[in-house]
Structure 1
Amino acid sequence: MKKHGRIGVPCNNGWVTERGRLVLAGAPIGQAGDVSPRLREALANADVVAAEDTRRLRRLATELGVELTGRVVSYYDANEVARAKELVETLKEGRTVLVITDAGMPGVSDPGYRLTRLAVEEGITVTALPGPSAVTTALAVSGLASDRFCFEGFPPRKAGERARRLAALATEERTMVFFESPHRLEESLKAMAEAFGADRPAAVCRELTKTYEEVRRGGLAELAAWAHGDVRGEITLVVAGHVAGEAEPDLDDLVAEVARQVEAGKPRKTAIVDVAKAAGVPKRVLYDAVHRGSTTP
């Protein structure tokens, strides 16, 4: 039977209230059957369940046959800061607070980080119930190297910011994992093709573990062309890292070639695009070198 109320321990002067416990719960990314028995038990017994979407939480509980006996509150991007402060006060009263997002682990591109940080600062116990992860699932099925990888979250929405972020990752040797929305997928793949090279191997993982799961593998430019269609669902993108030791084109030579083509009458922007494509270097890298007037890193 569930025991609500404060948690206490005896001492010489009576009972001393203990701090509560924050539980970060990994939610299924597509199939309710992936939920662990521990998560079922935790959902049923938590004093407070903070959910990114309370309607989805209640649907999940119904599918699992779990009765939510604790208080259910919303915890999403717009109210995360204020709600985190409220939940910390609840934790300080000795309650158990369980945080669950729509899919995956709280704090990984989803609400949870701010509350975790505040709880740690207050000396409150923080634990996790591990569950399915779109990041590691996509990495596993991508067919790309998985011994070393980095998670980059969502690329910036604005084209300029996205280009700068990707240019900084052009020589990243680890396999990279991104999240992206379906309606921005084509733009992001094009930007990655420019930053990493058109033939850089990648995999677009769509609707992982769900009925219409699909994994598309190929070069970035090829995948960008495919994404021009009506792509739907949750997207996780896996991109191969830069291969260390690859022969790098001499930027001085490429800048000189751009200058020769401009002198011959070709527009500079067109010359940069053509030379970069022929040399297999990111357009942004050559563009920056030309406009600096120097190839010094």
Structure 2
Amino acid sequence: MKMPESLQKEVIDTIEWYYVLDEETGRVLYASQALIEQCGPDLMEKGYREALAGSPLLRIFEAPIPPEGSLEWELAIGEQNSYLLIRNRRIWHKRHKCRVGVVIHASDVIGVSRDLSGLILEYKQVVEKNRKLMEELEWNAYHDRLTALYNRNRYMTDSEALFSHETGYGVASFDINGLKWTNDTSGHEAGDQLIRCAGDALKTMEKEGKAYCYRVGGDEFVLVLRDTTEEELRAACDTVCRRAAPCEMAAGYALAGPDMGFGAVSKLADDWMYEQKRRMKGEPVKNSKGDT
């Protein structure tokens, strides 16, 4: 459907700057009043080269047209942030090769674009901050801050999700000797240092293989080895206690047998650990490992 001439005029009047240029003669055949006011009346009376000699506006009309017949580019005018965006199209008018051009003040568009870019950057920063916060919250939910080992929450989760349906794993329990005495006599920083020593010793076991290590209480730690033997479990206990020096630790272990739940294996390891702790204190013991 052809647009009525009255509507065509209304549409054209919404375009602030436009022109029709005869490329063969260099004369501007038609131009919007706003563009004429900007370039001066000589734009219509003389060729654009003479009318705009020395003016940056000359580049509006002199930029080359590519073979496909359309071109868009930005032209810096005046202030650093003031730009014009020119859209051109080649046409034939009265057997003359002409160019129709529309000039858009792009400074506002660029300003909005920069505002949007700022908002997008700010949004990305918020997303990244929230991502890091969620990672920190998740880390804190399952780790002990002092030692960076898994905490009791993770221990309870893993005991159900990982170990309760397996056999052939071993559990080792550790307890720091004299932590309360160290806290009372030398201060909690000294006590924390003992905890860190124990945590570092267990952490090396994690890095070396199949160990899962947890701080499950103030002075209590647990190590779980999957698919292990009694000899490997005993060696792991000895290694942790040796590496924890000067922190002295009592240790006990138990190997999962057929039809043994994780709770039962863990209790055997605890019982033997507490027996070793009493021995290290010189207290009488009720059982030996062979009786448990």
Q: Same fold per TM (> 0.5)?
A: no
TM-score (norm 2): 0.20
> Which structure carries more relative contact order (alpha carbon 8 Å, separation 6+)?
1
Give the number of the structure whose residues are more often helix, by fraction.
2
| TM-score where L is the length of structure 1 | 0.19
